[in-house]
Amino acid sequence: MTGDDLRARRANSFGAHAAAYAEHRPDYPATAVRWALAPLGPGRREVLDLAAGTGKLTGVLVAEGHHVTAVEPDEGMLAELVRRHGAVRALPGSAERIPLPDGSVDAVLVGQAFHWFDPPRALPEIARVLRPGGVLAALWNDDDLSVPWVAEFKEASGSSARARDLDLDWLPDHGLFADRAEETFRHSHRRTAESLVATLNTHSHLLVVPAEEREEVNARMLAFLRSRPETRGEFDLPLLTYVVRALRATA
């Protein structure tokens, strides 16, 4: 299997596991969302949650008081989003074909998904739906590897698919966007050993490996977590939320 084939399989692996994704993936810190939208000033905004998945970012945006449109290409993920956020306008679509009019939103936010986009096609399409001066921000949750047990657990959770893991595709420079900025926020996810293993089983690298390998990785992760005093009972998994922001150029 080529690298492109594996990438495509991973990108399309989530829909059949949408309920588990919604149950076990972390949300995003409100502080990160506020920083992403800060250039727009205070007030309720029209925000597109692009590649919204099951609505992990949608829920934070709604709680912050914004009017949200969610766009998601996978039918299973979109159905789960509608089930959990029925009041939100939810549409099928992709970063490369956004079903919204020109200049119709103040901000486009992307949670844990920009690395699946085709930037040469997606960035002009995102710019099309943004108003001049509008915000594009991509957010990623990742393990805080400065914590020793978290770094060791990352090693324990490896699979053959993650051996060719995806690099985070930070927002590339583009003439339609300016004033790029980056920030990192501390976050956490309340877990048990069993629910953290369930979380890892919603990651694409474990969704696409053979069942036998997945079982072996799960047993390895569970044994590690049960051996550590930090992960007995309920515990907070330390996370870092990375945000990259740029503004729609006005000229």
38-94: pLDDT as tens digits: 999 999 999 999 999 999 999 999 999 999 999 999 999 999 999 999 999 999 999
pLDDT at residue 6 above 60?
A: no
Q: What is the pLDDT of residues 92-127, one digit of tens each?
A: 999 999 999 999 999 999 999 998 899 999 999 999
Concatenated DSSP letters for the chain? Answer: --HHHHHHHHHTSSGGGHHHHHHHS----HHHHHHHHGGG-SS--EEEEET-TTTHHHHHHHHTT-EEEEEES-HHHHHHHHHH-TTSEEEE-BTTB--S-TT-EEEEEEES-GGGS-HHHHHHHHHHHEEEEEEEEEEEEEE-TTSHHHHHHHHHT--TTGGGPPPP-PPPP-TTEEEEEEEEEEEEEEE-HHHHHHHHTTSHHHHSS-HHHHHHHHHHHHHHHHH-GGGSSSEEEEEEEEEEEEEE---
Q: Is residue 206 part of a domain?
A: no
pLDDT for the residue 167: 54
Q: Is residue 48 part of a domain?
A: yes
* Total domains, the chain: 1
Q: Is residue 113 part of a domain?
A: yes
Q: Which domain holds residue 23?
A: 3-143+165-189+237-248
Q: What is the CATH number of the domain that holds 80?
A: 3.40.50.150
Q: Is residue 67 part of a domain?
A: yes
pLDDT at residue 234 above 90?
A: yes
